[in-house]
Chains A and B, each alone.
Chain A
Amino acid sequence: MDDFTPTEDFISPGLPVDEANTTGREPLGDPQEVPELSEVDCPDELRVTIEASMALYPDHKSASIPALWAVQRAYGWCTPEGIRQAAAVMKVTPAYLESVASFYDLFRLQPSGESQILVCTNISCWMRGGDELLDAFCEATGADREGAGHGGAMSADGTVMVSGFECLGACDLAPMASVNERYFGPLEPADAKTVIEQLGSGEEVLPEKVLAARPLPGGDQESSDKRVTSTKGPNR
C-alpha cells in the first residue's frame, strides 16, 4: 500500500452533511488553540461580565455556562466569534466552549431572531393541546412546522424563532409557551396570532396569561391546623 494515493472521493466520500448544524459555523481559527485576548475583538462589557462570573467560582472553568449566556445575550445567539471571545477571556479553547454549548438546549447555535418562542409539547401540555399550539405558532409566523418540532424554525420574516420544547416546568399552565423567557398559559391556538402581533408592535404580551399573574390554585386559604398556627420560625 506504499504507493496508495487517496482519491478526492476517498478524502471526501460525499457523506450527507447536516447543513443545519454546520452552516455559518466554520471555525475562525484553530479551535484547539486558546486565542489571545488581543487576537479577538471582545467588547469590554462582555469581558467584564465573563470575568465577574469567573470570580464567583473556585475553578474559573465553572463560568463556561454563564459565559455562553453572556455571549448569547450580547449577540442574540452563540456566534463562533462570540465563543472565541469568551474562550480568550476564560483561557480555554473555543472547541471546549463549543462542546459545552452544543450540549444544552437553550444555547442557540444559529441566528434566532429577536424573539424566541418555546412551546412545550411534553406530556401534560401534549394532553391539553401543546402540538396544536405549536401548529398555531408556526402558522402565525410562517415557520416550518417540521423544523420547529426538531430544534426550532425561523418565521418567514426572520424575526421570531419557534421551537417545540421539552417540559418547561409549568404543567399547571398547560398548554403553555415561553416567550422571550417569560411563561404564558393556558394558551388557546388563537393566542398565537395575538402574541405575534404584540411582539411586532412592541406591546406587552398577553398580560392576563403571564405566569406571574397566576394565583395559587388553592387560593390564599391559610391552615387552621393548630400544629401549623402554633409554629415557631419562618412563616409564623
Chain B
Amino acid sequence: MSIVETRILLRHAADPQLATIDGYRSYGGYTTLEKAYREMEPDTIVNELEESGLRGRGGAGFSMGKKVSFLPHGNQTKYLCCNADESEPGAFKDRELMQRNPHQLIEGIVIASYAAGISHAFIFIRGEYDVQADILDRATAEAYEAGYLGENILGSGHNLELTVHRGAGAYICGEETALLDALEGKRGNPRLKPPFPAVQGLYGGPTLINNVETLSNVSHIVANGAEWFRSFGTEQSPGTKVVSISGGVRRPGNYEVELGVSLRDLICGLAGGPLEDREIKAFYPGGSSSPVLTPDELDLPYSFEAMAEAGSMLGSGSIIVADDSVSIPHMALRTARFYHHESCGKCTPCREGTNWTVKMLERVVRGEATPMDLDIITSVQANIIGHCLCVLGDSMAMPVSAMVNKFRDEFEEVIAHAAINGLPSTAGRESQEAGLEPGPGGVGLEVLRRERLMGRPVPESAQAPEELPRA
C-alpha cells in the first residue's frame, strides 16, 4: 500500500479527548476564531474563502466562498444552516467528523457567521444520528460557556445563537430547500428556486446552507490562507476530502485524502480492494446518486472535474463498490426502491417515475420484461431528469440509466434466466394460461433472449441451455 492519508480534518481524530473543548484547544482549537474576531474584517474572510476555491462537500460542489458572497449585506436577520442530514446511501463522513471533532465544525460555523453577518445558526442533523446529536449538544454548551457563542462574542459586538435541530428520518431533508421547510416545522418538501436560499431562505431571510465537511474546512483555511489550501488537491478541486468507502471492500471506512488521488489507490490501496476471490464489477463514485463506473475507470483521479468528465460525479465523496457477486439489475432495483421510498411526492415526474421504474425493474428480475421495457426504463429516466423542483428524481434516474446502458447484456441475461427458471410470478402464469404470452420453459437462452425480448412468441421446441449465467 503506497498511498497514505492526508489528514487535516481527521487529524488527531483517534484521540477521544478531541471531542471536548479542552482536548480541541490543546491542539490549537479556537485560536483561529479568536484571530478572526480580533484581527480580521468579515470581508477579508469571505475573500480568503473564495480564493481558496473550497467547493461544497455535500454533493453539488459549488464554491463555498461564492455562496457566502451571495448573501446580501445589510442589517436584516440572516441565517446559517449546517446540513448534517447526511442520508445519501454510501455517505457516512459527516457522522465521523461530528462524532470525533464537533468543535472543528462549531468553530467553522462561528467564523462563517461572523464573515457573513449571521446571527442565528442551525445544525440540521438527521434524527438517526442520536449519538452524534448528543455530542453536538454537549460541544455547543461548552462553546457557549467559553464565550464563542452567544452575545457579543469576544467583545466584537457580533451575536450568534447556535441550535442543534434533530430531523426525524427523511432523505429529502438533505435537499437544501426541503431542509428549510423541515426546520420551519413543516413536512420536508422542496421549494421552487429561485428565489435561492441566499436571498430568501429560512423564515424568508437570507440563508447560507453548507455541509458539515465544508464548514469544518473553514477554520483551517482562515488560519493558513487560501494559498496553503490550494497546495492540496487539484486546480479545480483544491483541498482534502474525507471519502467514505463501503460495499465489497476489505477495509470499509472513512479515509481523508487529497483530491485528485487515483480511484485505484482509494479502493484497492486504502480500502484494501475487493474481498477474497472477488473482482470489482462496478462502483458508485459519489454516493448512490452517481452514475456507476466500471473497473476500466479505476485509474481516473478522484476529483470533481474528472468524475464529471467520466459522466458521473464526485457528489458527497462516497464510493460504493459492487463486486462480481452482485447482480447489477438487482442493484438497480435496490437503488430505485430507495428513491421511490424517499420521494416526497410533490413533483409528478419523480413521484410517478420512481414508482414505475421500481415496477419495471421488478419485472426485469422476475423475468417478465421485454426489450421494450429496458428502453422504456431509460426513457422514463430521461423524462425525470431536470423536470422536478429538486434533484431527488434525477438522483435515481442517473445511476439507473447508467446501469441499464453499461450492463444491458446482464439485464437481458437476468430476464432470460428468471424466465427459464419458471420464476414468472402468478401474474405471468395467468397471462400464459390465457394464451397471451408464450410459456418460458424449455427455451434456449439466445433464442429466448432474442425472441422474447423482441416481444415475439417463443417456439415451444426451443430447448433450455444446460448452463445458465447466475442471476
> Which residues of A does B touch, CB under 8 Å?
56-59, 61-66, 68-69, 99-100, 103-107, 118, 122-124, 126-128, 166-172, 174, 178, 181-183, 211-212, 215-223, 225, 227-228, 231-236
A233, B222: Cβ atoms closer than 8 Å? yes
Segment among B40-48, B223-231, B376-384 that sits at the interface with chain A: B223-231
Our pick among A65, A123, A221 for the contact of B166 (Cβ within 8 Å) is A65
Task: From known contacts A124-B90, A232-B32, A234-B219, infer whether A59 and B203 are also in contact, taking CB-CB under 8 Å.
Answer: yes
Contacts of B15 in A (CB 8 A): 220
Question: B246 at interface (Cβ–Cβ under 8 A)?
Answer: yes
Contact among A166, A211, A218, A234 for B89, CB-based, below 8 A: A166
User: Is B86 close to A, CB under 8 A?
Assistant: yes
B5, B90, B188, B251: the one within 8 Å of A167 (CB): B90
Give Cα distance in the complex from A59 to B185, angstroms: 9
Q: Are B244 and A171 in contact (CB under 8 A)?
A: yes
Q: Which of B10, B184, B322 contacts A62 (CB 8 A)?
A: B184
B4 CB contacts on chain A under 8 angstroms: 221, 223
Q: Which of chain A's residues have a CB closer than 8 A to the CB of B284?
A: 123
Residues of B within 8 A of A107 (CB): 168-169
Q: Is the CB of A221 within 8 A of B231?
A: no
A167 touches B6 (CB 8 A): no
Least Cβ–Cβ distance between B282 and chain A, in angstroms: 11
Interface string of B341-358 (1 = CB under 8 A from A): 110100000000000000
The tally of CB-CB contacts under 8 A between chains A and B is 222
A123 touches B288 (CB 8 A): yes
In whole Å, how far is A129's beta carbon from the nearest beta carbon of chain B? 11
B→A interface (CB under 8 Å): 4-15, 24, 27-32, 77, 86-92, 94-96, 101, 103-104, 107, 120, 126-131, 163, 165-171, 182-188, 203, 219-220, 222-224, 228, 231-232, 244-248, 251-255, 270-271, 284, 288, 318, 320, 322-323, 326, 331, 334-335, 338, 341-342, 344
Decide: B128 and A66 in contact? CB cutoff 8 A: no
CA distance in complex: A16, B342 (Å)? 24
CB distance from A187 to the nearest CB of B (A): 14
Cα A182 to Cα B219 in complex, Å, equals 31
Give the residues in chain B near A212, CB-CB below 8 Å: 131
Q: Which residue of B is nearest A102, CB measured?
A: B187
Which 9 pairs between the two chains have the least Cβ-Cβ distance?
A233-B223, A217-B253, A171-B246, A220-B14, A104-B168, A105-B169, A106-B169, A236-B28, A64-B185
